[in-house]
Amino acid sequence: MADGSVSGADRDESGRRGSSDHSNGSRSDDIGSADDRSDDSDSDNGYSDRSDSDHANDKSDSDSSDNDAGHDYDNRGYGDGWEELRQQTLRRDNYACTRCGADDRTLQAHHIVPRSAGGPDELENLLTLCRPCHGVIHQHNSAFDDVRDDAPLFPERTAPKPVARLRTPADQCCTRCGAERSDPTELVAWTDVPASDDGRPAPSHVTLCKPCTGLLLERDPAVGNEALTANHTISVHELAARRTDAPVRPSVFALSQVGIRREPRTLRERVVDDTPLRFLLNHRGIRLALLVAVGYVALFVVLAL
């Protein structure tokens, strides 16, 4: 394996199409569905804010358009002062999306703590997001379905934690082992995936944890450094060092392109991790059930004596 590092900043140039978002008919004023109330604490109740055509409109030409916008906000329950608060949020964030850094898209103010959960309309509870990234946070809000895929796969490394998520919940999980990683810097995307042997079309990308990425780099010549991307510099040395931490067997749901077996190194890996016993002993819930069953049998034997 060659030494070195690969630059992995993923900004999805195809996702920077902002012209359609700037139209007067933009759906950025749509009120989100009640499904957003089931989102985690990092999302608001699905309300999205009126679009800004560009920085100049926000800074100097907002009077005429913002009067109508303010009327809409009042009708939707935002109350007096919301438009000024929204403008303060955009100014504080330098008129750029805090998730992807885009400054040429529709920008909206996002509630960190949802209003439905008591989140206040305060500057500290607001972040600037472009409309596609706002849709990433609101996975269940159909108002963002037309633009969600335009968001970059990875957030910027400097993105605040409440919005530092990959494009979809599935992207947060390793495609080989199934492990979920909440830290985007622990994931790498393989963007040049070949078609499977059974003829099924190849996905546009798969996300992998670093141990599984290191294993694939070592075992599969189709995985090249140039086809890997992330929101940080990918260290080939780190991936090589962590490949032994990859599970011996891939998940039963792993795609065939990443379903590579690692040679077991220890007795436990040979007896448990490389056999069907892994389904029993490597699952926390099943281990707990087995302990309860053993304890029950032991108690029965003691009482029988």
Cα end-to-end distance, the chain, whole Å = 63
Asked whether residue 62 falls in the same domain as residue 122, the answer is yes
Highest mean pLDDT, choosing among 27-31, 198-202, 208-212, 282-286: 208-212
Rounded to whole angstroms, the Cα distance separating 27 from 269 reads: 53
Structural domain contains residue 8: no
Question: Which tokens sit at 191?
Answer: 């963007």
Asked whether residue 123 falls in the same domain as residue 51, the answer is yes
**Reported confidence tier of residue 61, pLDDT bands at 50, 70, 90:** very low
Domain-terminating residue out of 165, 189, 211: 165
Structural domain contains residue 4: no
Give the strand order in the sheet containing 228-229: 206-209, 187-190, 228-229
Structural domain contains residue 2: no
The per-residue pLDDT for range 218-263, each reduced to its tens digit, is: 999 889 889 999 999 999 999 999 999 999 999 999 999 999 999 9
Structural domain contains residue 7: no
**Reported confidence tier of residue 279, pLDDT bands at 50, 70, 90:** confident
Asked whether residue 38 falls in the same domain as residue 74, the answer is yes
Structural domain contains residue 3: no
**Reported confidence tier of residue 116, pLDDT bands at 50, 70, 90:** confident
Asked whether residue 50 falls in the same domain as residue 134, the answer is yes
Rounded to whole angstroms, the Cα distance separating 295 from 303 reads: 12
User: Using an 8 Å Cβ cutoff, are 18 and 107 in contact?
Assistant: no
- Domain limits at 122? 13-165
Asked whether residue 156 falls in the same domain as residue 20, the answer is yes
Closest C-alpha to 144, from 21, 59, 251, 259: 21
Structural domain contains residue 63: yes
Count of domains observed in the chain: 3
Asked whether residue 113 falls in the same domain as residue 236, the answer is no
Asked whether residue 245 falls in the same domain as residue 283, the answer is no
pLDDT at 234 (0 to 100): 94
User: Using an 8 Å Cβ cutoff, are 110 and 134 in contact?
Assistant: yes
Asked whether residue 41 falls in the same domain as residue 146, the answer is yes
Asked whether residue 140 falls in the same domain as residue 22, the answer is yes
Give the pairing type, strands 107-111 and 234-235. Answer: unpaired
User: Using an 8 Å Cβ cutoff, are 82 and 70 in contact?
Assistant: yes
Domain-terminating residue out of 122, 145, 165: 165
Q: What is the DSSP code (8-state) at residue 271?
A: I
Structure pTM? 0.69
Asked whether residue 35 falls in the same domain as residue 152, the answer is yes
Structural domain contains residue 133: yes
Asked whether residue 290 falls in the same domain as residue 226, the answer is no
Query: Identity (one letter) of the amino acid at 302?
Result: V
Which range is least confidently modeled, 78-87, 121-130, 229-238, 281-290?
A: 281-290
For residue 290, pLDDT beyond 80:
no
Q: What is the DSSP code (8-state) at residue 116?
A: G
Structural domain contains residue 56: yes
Asked whether residue 178 falls in the same domain as residue 303, the answer is no
